[in-house]
Amino acid sequence: MVLWTLVYAVLIAHHVTGRPSWLPPPPALPMRGDCYVAEPEVELFRVEGEAVILSFPLFRSTLTARDIAPPAAVYLITKDNGTEGAAYPSSGRVLQRNRELWLLPAQASDSGEYICTYRNESYCIRGSITLQVYESSSVGVDKLSYPISATVGETLSFRCPSVSHFNSTDEVIHWYKNSTSGGGSFGRHRGNLMIPGVKRSDAGVYTCQLTVLINDRLYKVSRVILLQVEDPELTTMSDPSVTSDPELIDTTPIFKPPVIISPLNGTLFQSAPGSGVVLYCDVLTECEMADSTMVTWLIKGQPVELSYLDERALQGGRSVTKVPGLCQVQLRLLIVRVTGEDRGTEVKCVAQNQGGRQEVAAQLQLEDSSSTWVVVAAVAVSCFVVVASIVLYVLLKPKRNNRKDYILARQSSTF
């Protein structure tokens, strides 16, 4: 009896939670037409003539988190809200391979929004990603670049970001600074570029290039890194507050520093193991400073592209909107899959412009299944108490005398 009670309690708890992993269900998705709509991917910026792979990592994470990827479903990728029947051929410049779209090579005309649809007879869900392809890296260097900040004197090592989808045919990755050779190739394992002691002159635009082999053809892939170098001593010397001579004070207009309104210090971002999470950094600044305000995410004090999360995280989707009297800059951090390794990981949002700098620290936390087991235990105990009460009631119920008194009399008798 007790065993069946516990089994019944577990089934009730499973029905309540709705997930075999004993975790709370993810938040409901909005619907558009007959399809659910997933969070859009981080916008991609690439260069014409290079191989580009659209992989929809957040969309895949959404499917996994909701267990809504039945084998019988059809997965299609279309461009600019194209019809679902317009599937790409299995060969050619643009082709779909499983859940990825390959552009071999990319052209400027490939710019636009791409829709991935997962549909079967009873369910439909869509994701999207926006791709911008520039004719050359110099045209869109502000969008193409991955920003990295360093301080004078520190040792810096960074690798070519977002190239894990490709298998390089070269033993090394070639690096260039400001479109000229950066002293040859650096590193042979992950193509790291090493700067043992950062100097102010090291600031600039770095480009990493590699050659990849796809379908027996060679394609180029490149990434652009914008290195900004801060000099604390120079900042102190140029601060008007340390100057006593009013004639030496710079009369340049003083801008207020940016203010991070979200997240707050100490915020805990919770996510179920194996699922994805999107973090938003919202910054208020003066509108004339919005374009020059640098907003970036750090993982354990390191840029996302240099951190251990590089293969599972993307930052981007920067947007600027006007609010009363100010402008709001937003930057997203997408972590495709959260694992036990990420428990307690510190993430920082950093905002900086001519007016100053602000940073906010938060933490990644995994949703704990212990609370669900508390629910299971409570339901089990309740069911056990109910069953035990019924059993005790049946066993201890007092016996009633069912005999009834009758008066026997002849028909002819009278009282």
Which CATH number does the domain housing residue 230 bear?
2.60.40.10
Q: Is position 150 within any domain?
A: yes
Of 95, 115, 134, the last residue of a domain is 134
- Does some domain include residue 182? yes
Q: What is the pLDDT of residue 16?
A: 36
**One domain, residues 101 and 186:** no
Q: What is the dihedral of CA 288, 290, 293, 294, to 10 degrees?
A: -160
- φ and ψ at residue 210, rounded to 5 degrees: -145, 160
3-state DSSP percent of the chain in helix, strand and coil, to 5: 20, 40, 40
Residue 87 lies in a domain: yes
| Helices and strands, number each (H, E), in the chain | 5, 25
311 CB-near residues (< 8 Å, 6+ apart): 164
Per-residue pLDDT, 403: 47
Q: Clarify whether residues 179 and 86 are in a common domain.
A: no
Backbone φ and ψ for 241, nearest 5 degrees, come out as -70, -20
| 153 shares a domain with 127 | no
Tell whether 145 is covered by a domain.
yes
Whether residue 160 is contained in a domain is answered as yes
C-alpha span between 301 and 339 (Å, rounded) = 19
C-alpha distances in Å from residue 403, one per residue of 49, 395, 408:
101, 21, 15
Regarding whether 145 and 72 lie in a shared domain, the answer is no
Q: Say how far apart CA 27 and CA 191 lie, in whole Å.
A: 40
**Nearest alpha-carbon partner for 352 in 242, 253, 259:** 259
CB proximity list for 76: less than 8 A, separation 6 or greater: 84, 87, 96, 116, 117, 119
Are residues 96 and 148 located together in one domain of the fold?
no
127 and 156 inside one domain: no
Same-domain pairing of 157 and 185: yes
pLDDT at 49: 93
Residue 265: inside a domain:
no
Q: Is residue 340 in some structural domain?
A: no
Whether residue 118 is found in the same domain as residue 156: no
pLDDT in tens, 131-176: 999 988 777 777 788 888 888 888 888 878 888 788 777 667 888 8
Residue 20 confidence (pLDDT): 40
Answer whether 290's CB lies under 8 Å from 320's CB: yes
pLDDT of residue 201: 87
Alpha helices in 39-148, H assignment, sequence order: 57-66, 141-144
On average, the pLDDT of the chain sits at: 75
Domain presence at residue 177: yes
pLDDT digits (tens, 9 = 90+) for 216-253: 889 999 988 888 887 766 544 444 444 444 444 444 55
Which residue pairs, CB below 8 angstroms and at least 24 apart, start in 366-370? 366/270, 366/271, 366/272, 366/273, 366/338, 366/340, 366/342, 367/23, 367/24, 367/270, 367/271, 367/272, 367/273, 369/21, 369/22, 369/23
| CA–CA dist 201, 199 (Å, integer) | 5
- Give the tokens for residue 113: 């929004």
The answer to whether residues 148 and 189 belong to one domain is yes
Query: Last residue of some domain: 86, 114, 134?
Result: 134
Considering 204, 236, 268, which residue would you say is the last residue of a domain?
236
Provide the residue range defining the domain that includes 189. Answer: 138-236
Per-residue pLDDT tens for 330-339? 998 888 888 8
- Which stretches in the chain have pLDDT values below 70? 1-27, 66-72, 81-87, 89-91, 170-171, 179-191, 232-254, 368-388, 391-415
Domain count, the chain: 2
The pLDDT of residue 380? 57
Whether residue 147 is preceded by a cis peptide bond, meaning omega within 30 degrees of 0, is no
Q: What's phi and psi for 378, nearest 5 deg?
A: -65, -45
Q: Is residue 237 within 8 Å of residue 225, measured between CB atoms?
A: no
Count CA within 13 A, CB hemisphere, residue 352: 13
Give the containing element (helix H, strand E) for 332: strand 326-335
Are residues 223 and 146 located together in one domain of the fold? yes
Whole-number Å distance between alpha carbons of 238 and 241: 9
Helix or strand or coil: residue 380?
Answer: helix
User: Phi then psi for 79, rounded to 5 degrees?
Assistant: -115, 140
